[in-house]
Amino acid sequence: MIQAAISEFGSSLAILTSFQREGVVIVDLVMREQVNSPKIPILTIDTGKLPAATQRMIDAVEQRYGVEVERIRPDESEVAAMVGAHGENLFYDSVPQRMLCCNVRKVRPLARRMATVSAYFAGLRREQGGERLGIEEIDRAGTQVKISPLADWSASDVERYTREHNLPVHDLYSAGYTSIGCNPCTRATIEGEGERAGRWWWENDVDKECGIHFTPDGRAERTVDVLLRDLLTRTATA
Ligand code: SF4
């Protein structure tokens, strides 16, 4: 699958990773296959809220493969406007505010960078549940083709590959984390919880639904879209 993707997309291909185990496996698999191909960039979103252990993982991967990881960063003026309006820890106040933060720090900067690639590798697995249950190995539905070579892998497949190839491992796994994102929004999980239960742990499943807001003419809008529009209006007129 990786060879086919390299042949089809060449230099317009990227790896997108947050340096969890799956992402490092993808990096390793691609590095083995791309020997005579154009260099495939390794992209990560540096939200400004990453744990120090993720920064150490980036350094470890750079050293091991002799590459420079490209950090995708949010627009500073958007972050400043968001924090000025809603506070540094807005994500704890409501689901729409958490989604606003994810939009400003992750979704928007990623969309800007991804506009320049045709396809990318991601480390998603169906076994992780939730929206990932239905992922395709090669998903051509979006603007960019999303390639998930580990779609069918189990957590123990990933652990075995990691061990057999002596890959660097994120320090937070040994602290009980089973999914790793931004520092303030991730905690360790306990036995019996799903792999991603530690992400936005203060929200319950109902809260995780998008807040809906109705416009004066009766149209439904997600509250996060209203917040984002206000924010962008403010930064445009600043
Ligand atoms: S995970 Fe948390 S800190 Fe990171 S972008 Fe989303 S809300 Fe903001």
* Domain range summary for the chain, segments of one domain joined by +: 2-237
Identity at 96, one-letter amino acid code:
P
User: What is the 8-class DSSP label of residue 72?
Assistant: E
Nearest-atom index, ligand 1, CA of 99: 7
The pLDDT tens digits of the residues spanning 188-229 come to 999 888 888 898 999 876 555 444 444 556 565 688 888 899
- Predicted local confidence at residue 75, as pLDDT: 97
* Domain 2-237: which CATH number of 3.40.50.620, 3.40.50.300, 3.40.50.1220, 3.40.50.720: 3.40.50.620
Active site residue 185: no
120 lines ligand 1 (CB under 6 A): no
C-alpha closest to that of 27 among 74, 64, 1, 53: 64
Band (37; pLDDT cuts 50, 70, 90): low
Phi and psi at residue 216, in whole multiples of 5°?
A: -55, -30
Q: Which of 50, 86, 101, 187 to mutate to test the pocket of ligand 1 (most atoms within 8 A of CB)?
A: 101
- For residue 176, pLDDT over 60 is answered with yes
State residue 86's pLDDT score.
96
184 CB near ligand 1 (under 6 Å): yes
Best substitution site from 20, 97, 183, 185 to test ligand 1's pocket, by max atoms within 8 Å of Cβ? Answer: 185
Ligand 1 centre to CA of 184 (Å) is 7
Query: What is the arithmetic mean of pLDDT over 136-142?
Result: 92
pLDDT of residue 35: 72
**Residue from 166, 169, 173 nearest 195 by CA:** 173
> Ligand 1 pocket: which of 49, 50, 202 to mutate (most atoms <8 Å of CB)?
49
- pLDDT at position 185, please? 95
pLDDT digit string, tens, across residues 6-31 = 999 988 999 999 999 999 999 999 99
The arithmetic mean of pLDDT across residues 77-105, rounded, is 94
Alpha-carbon distance 42 to 23, whole Å? 10
Q: Does residue 13 have its Cβ closer than 6 Å to ligand 1?
A: no
Residues 6+ apart with CB under 8 A from 77: 235, 238
* pLDDT tens-digit series, residues 47-85: 999 999 999 999 999 999 999 999 999 999 999 999 999
What is the distance in A from the centroid of ligand 1 to the CA of 49?
7
CA nearest to 66, candidates 44, 39, 46 = 39
Q: What is the pLDDT of residue 93?
A: 94
Range 83-106 average pLDDT: 94
Position 209 scores a pLDDT of 43
Residue nearest atom 4 in ligand 1 by C-alpha distance? 182
What pLDDT was estimated at residue 147?
96
Q: What is the mean pLDDT of the chain?
A: 90
Structure tokens at 113: 């960078």
Residue with the larger pLDDT of the pair 35 and 31: 31
**pLDDT of res. 217:** 62
Which of ligand 1's atoms lies nearest the C-alpha of 49?
3
pLDDT at position 218, please?
Answer: 57
Q: Where are the beta strands (DSSP E) in 115-186?
A: 119-121, 138-139, 145-147
